[in-house]
Structure 1
Amino acid sequence: MRFAYETDRGPVTAVDGVDLTVREGEVVALVGHNGSGKTTLAKHFNGLHEADEGSVSYRGRPVPEYGMGEIGREVGYVFQNPDHQIFAETVWEEVAFGPKNFGLEGPELDRRVERALETVELDGLDDADPFAFSKGQRQRVALAGILATDPEVIVFDEPTTGLDATQQRQFMDLVAKLNREEGVTVVMVTHDMGTVARYAPRTVVMRDGAVVDDLPTRELFGDGAALAEYDLVPPHPAACANAVRGDEPTALTAEELATALGGTDALADAEPVGDTASATTEGEGR
């Protein structure tokens, strides 16, 4: 499929000839530098954009054939900045907005909101002002609003941007739990290679609007030539020391990660530092 933005200087192609399938239950990372087309592509998954050429389908049906409410219930989208998503004066009102628009009311609506807030560990804060929260908490409110609609797929645009190391880990562990325990399919647009290594078994690399590679994350991080070609930097060995020692979850096995980082000797003296040294590609997503 292809998509171009209209500008004063004429159309600018943002997605060019992409052919991609995301399978049910996957966690897929879309990576690439600023302007590569990651976010623009992701916005086609739930109808925020419509292809100029070709088509995007969900469960075999073209996305434009769904009503916006219908596709919104199936494919949720969490924006990079939660303040672009949150508008209500209380947490309860914010989380209830989506399911109320889809016709839920009464005890079923209350149950949906309560379950979503419990899932993101914000239960008991129904009457709180979400704009008084930290960014990490606002990210959770935004996610709860999506979860309350009970989607099959959630698309995250730069889910760790602006979060400190602890908030990043907490939020991504929550996303991983949703995938593992609820079977939610996850697509995440990200520059954070540490997040990719820990949480995404599959990585799709984009450049100039096109998919230039689509492969298991373990293969990407083990291929120095490919990393150099795409200008991607794997996490620093110190940041991955715990993963290699088996103390934290990762998309790579210990052996695969050690190989990708030059062998276990490169990590022998590394001190575990959690998330403090994760490497990223340059720039912000479009």
Structure 2
Amino acid sequence: MTDTILKVKNLFFRYPNQEEDTLKDINIEVKQGEWTAIVGHNGSGKSTLARILNGLQMPTEGSVIINGMELSEEKLWDIRRQVGMVFQNPDNQFVGSTVEDDVAFGLENIGVPRSEMIERVEESIRRVGMKSFLTQEPHQLSGGQKQRVAIAGVIALRPAIIILDEATSMLDPIGRKEVIQTIEELRKEMGVTVLSITHDLEEASRADHIIVLNGGKVFAEGTPSDIFLLGEQLVQIGLDLPFAISLANKLKSIGVTLESNPTTSERLMDELCKLTYKI
């Protein structure tokens, strides 16, 4: 049975000077090695939850347990070593003058010996497909390349969980595809646990598990197929259905039913090819 690496129990959070809780009785579990997407419209509480999971905010009530450790002021830095975050704007994440300097920065901060640091920098950059950009200046990179370097900086620290906080929202389609492909490859190669915070159901469709937040509460959770069966309910809380789901629904409305409900564009193409073959 897959181990639980993250457990959130009866979590509440309220910002100072606010009358209402931003997060209300959140209960979730994340399994080791899985990709879990937390989705919701702006203001649903998903980014606040991400900051709590990395110890940037402390819960008002409830508990967060990561890799067997409960989040507290005393365990804060231990928790942060377990959780790496990739933020929305890649330009705000760079501190080094070159790609390799930037990836090495976090390792220097935690006192990793130089010989080990060199190995970790080279390995992490290779894993994200940026080996030929070692000495490149970050401002010369595309958006997708910058995020891949940011991911390299995180995996060099060897966290148990990587959180992507709207990490693809500012990228063009090519950059978004690069980052998602990188994450999928890292999961296969390293077994890393991924938690993506997003409002993009197209991106979330590639996850193993989806948690939907609405108004600071868990609205629904399940596999992508389970979640997309909610259809219009997702639209009503401000989410856009993935193209594959929308097209499949339109085909069904005119009497064309696919063998299975596709959750990604690739699966939609497979279903359309089957349909064409039958015709």
Output the TM-score relative to the length of structure 1: 0.79
Residues of 2 paired with 1:149 and 1:254: CA distance?
44
Quick check: 1:160 aligned with 2:168?
Answer: yes
Larger strand fraction of residues: 2
Unaligned 5+ runs, structure 2: 1-10, 249-257
Shift of 1:79: 0.6
Q: Is the 8 A contact 1:82 1:142 kept in 2?
A: yes
Picking from 84, 88, 93, the partner of 1:85 is 93
Task: Say whether 1:95 aligns with 2:103.
Answer: yes
Is the contact made by 1:222 and 1:257 (CA closer than 8 Å) also made in structure 2? no
Q: 2:42–2:199: 8 Å Cα contact kept in structure 1?
A: no
Amino acid at match of 1:59: N
- How many angstroms apart in 2 are the aligned matches of 1:66 and 1:183? 28
Instruction: Tell me the distance in 2 between the aligned counterparts of 1:35 and 1:5.
Output: 13
Q: Which residue of the partner structure matches residue 151 of structure 2?
A: 143
2:13 equivalent to 1:3: yes
Question: Where do residues 232-271 of structure 1 align in structure 2 (5 Å cutoff)?
Answer: 232-237=239-244, 255-257=260-262
Matched with 1:58 is 66
Q: CA contact under 8 A between 2:34 and 2:193: conserved in structure 1?
A: yes
Question: Is the alpha carbon distance of 1:238 and 1:204 closer, same or farther for their aligned partners in structure 2, counting shifts above 3 Å?
Answer: closer
The 3 A distance-change label for structure 1 pair 227 and 165 is same
Say whether residues 1:120 and 2:128 are aligned partners: yes
User: Over residues 97-127 of structure 1, what are the superposed CA-to-partner deviations in whole Å (9 max), with x where a residue is unaligned?
Assistant: 1112222122110000001111111113232
1:5 aligns to what SS in structure 2?
coil
> Partner of 1:181 in structure 2?
189
Aligned residues: 252
**1:217 aligned residue (197, 221, 224):** 224
Cα distance in 1 for residues equivalent to 2:101 and 2:35: 30
Quote the offset at 1:60 in angstroms: 2.8
1:228 Cα offset (Å): 4.3
Q: CA deviation at 1:11?
A: 4.8
- Among the aligned pairs, what percent are the same residue? 35
Q: Secondary structure of the equivalent of 1:131?
A: helix
Shift of 1:46: 1.8
- With 137-146 and 79-88 compared, the bigger mean Cα shift is at 79-88
RMSD: 2.8
Query: 2:259, 2:155 → 1: CA distance?
Result: 33
Structure 1 residues 203, 107: closer, same or farther in 2, change over 3 A? same
CA contact (8 A) 2:55 2:79 kept: yes
Deviation of 1:61 (Å): 1.9
Aligned 8 A contact 2:200 2:240 in 1 = no
Determine if the alignment matches structure 1 residue 205 to structure 2 residue 212.
Answer: yes
- After superposition, the C-alpha distances for 1:128-179 in whole angstroms (9 at most, x for unaligned) are 2212322111111211110110111100011221222222112101101111
Alpha-carbon distance in structure 2 between the residues aligned to 1:191 and 1:223: 16
Judging changes above 3 Å, is the alpha-carbon distance between structure 1 residues 132 and 214 closer, same or farther for their aligned structure 2 residues? same
Q: Does 1:134 align with 2:142?
A: yes
Amino acid at match of 2:44: S
**Is the counterpart of residue 15 in structure 1 residue 15 in structure 2?**
no
Aligned to 1:170: 178
